[in-house]
Structure 1
């Protein structure tokens, strides 16, 4: 489980295809401090398992990426030099500063527009229609693994406000219109929807 509070922005070293899967290598420093084989790390909001690492100027961490992940997220489009949001799994004795994020991407969206404010930016993302029912104003959503509060929502879009710290400390500050992003809707909304579906049938 994660919180959507990005700990570090890493850099992709390589993404190597292996049949219908791939191996992703990411350079990082802070999240490499307590690496363990089999540990979970969210990479742009996708929960991946550490399968190895190599220590150098920066630690290069390797993750196996299965075909399902490549299909459902934008991980497969990463290339060497791309920046990625990184977060280690939350500790049981830590504060939950964001919201409950599983690292299970529900779909992908695209950045539609950015509107600068005095101290923040309003950013609009395209939203797959089948996910729209899970997104509510003032509710939570994870965009590339960043926990955000929805400030507006339409049939196929939602908006968030990005404060200076989010613009600085995550990859969202450098995204442009047309860039794809991973989306994870609030898990509680998904469970409520499922309960309602099964109650009706």
Structure 2
């Protein structure tokens, strides 16, 4: 579990191929404090397990499917990645609960400045657009953000200067892919409502029927 508050910008070093898996090597420093083998670190929002580390780098196993389903597969040497250690019981929660399980990627359509804010517009798939609401929470490349606007399949995010400078979102250009994790509470609520809707369709006794007949 993570909070979406980025602790450090790391640098992608290399990808090493093994038996049916890959290892990613990331250079880092502060995010490695008190780390041990088996700990989780979110890389661009993707929860990865540390399998080897030193004072200035760590390595993590990653499956081919993860590389295909996220923007980790597009990393080139020297690319900047957002890093966050897993949440500890006594940590302050400054963002929102982020699992590190990416729902989909989105394509950046526009990046521009509006007074002191940086605005990013990105195109979402229908699969995740249904979970996103205006003023709701979303994690983009692991960064906890508030949705400024959502219209059809286009989501707009506004970034304060601090977030812009302290994450890799400042390096985004039109056409880039970002990792998206929607708010898990929204997903649970959506599923419960869909289940309730399906149950009502199966039953002749609906909420409307009960209301019309004075039961509720």
Confirm or deny a common fold (TM above 0.5): yes
| 1:179 aligned to which of 166, 176, 180 | 176
Comparing 19-28 with 81-90, greater Cα deviation is found at: 19-28
Give the greater-gyration-radius structure (CA): 2
Q: 1:195 Cα shift?
A: 1.2
Other-structure match for 1:12: 12
Q: Report the secondary structure of 1:93's partner residue.
A: coil
Q: 1:39 Cα shift?
A: 0.2
Other-structure match for 1:158: 155
Q: Report the secondary structure of 2:36's partner residue.
A: coil
Q: 1:19 Cα shift?
A: 5.0
> Aligned residue pairs: how many?
198
Task: Pick closer, same or farther for the CA change 1:178–1:19 going to 2, 3 Å.
Answer: farther
| 1:85 aligned to which of 63, 82, 85 | 82
Q: 1:6 Cα shift?
A: 0.3
Q: Report the secondary structure of 2:33's partner residue.
A: helix
Comparing 19-28 with 181-190, greater Cα deviation is found at: 19-28
> Mapping of 1:53-72 within 5 angstroms?
53-55=53-55, 59-72=56-69
Other-structure match for 1:26: 26
Q: Return the alpha-carbon distance in structure 2 between the equivalents of residues 180 and 19 of structure 1.
A: 27
Q: 1:193 Cα shift?
A: 1.3
Q: Report the secondary structure of 2:133's partner residue.
A: coil
Q: Return the alpha-carbon distance in structure 1 between the equivalents of residues 15 and 105 of structure 2.
A: 19
| 2:71 aligned to which of 74, 82, 96 | 74
Other-structure match for 1:122: 119
Cα RMSD of the aligned pairs, angstroms, is: 1.2
Q: Return the alpha-carbon distance in structure 2 between the equivalents of residues 51 and 192 of structure 1.
A: 35
| 1:197 aligned to which of 187, 194, 206 | 194
Instruction: Report Cα offsets for 1:41-74 as digits up to 9, x if no partner.
Output: 000000000000134xxx1100000133123211
Q: Report the secondary structure of 2:54's partner residue.
A: strand
Q: 8 Å contact 1:21–1:70 — kept in the other structure?
A: no
Other-structure match for 1:108: 105
Q: 5+ unaligned residues in a row in structure 1: which ranges? A: none
Q: 1:18 Cα shift?
A: 3.0
TM-score, normalization: structure 2? 0.88
TM-score, normalization: structure 1? 0.95
Comparing 62-71 with 163-172, greater Cα deviation is found at: 62-71
Q: Report the secondary structure of 1:184's partner residue.
A: strand
Other-structure match for 2:45: 45
Determine whether 1:142 maps to 2:108: no
Moved over 6 A (4+): none
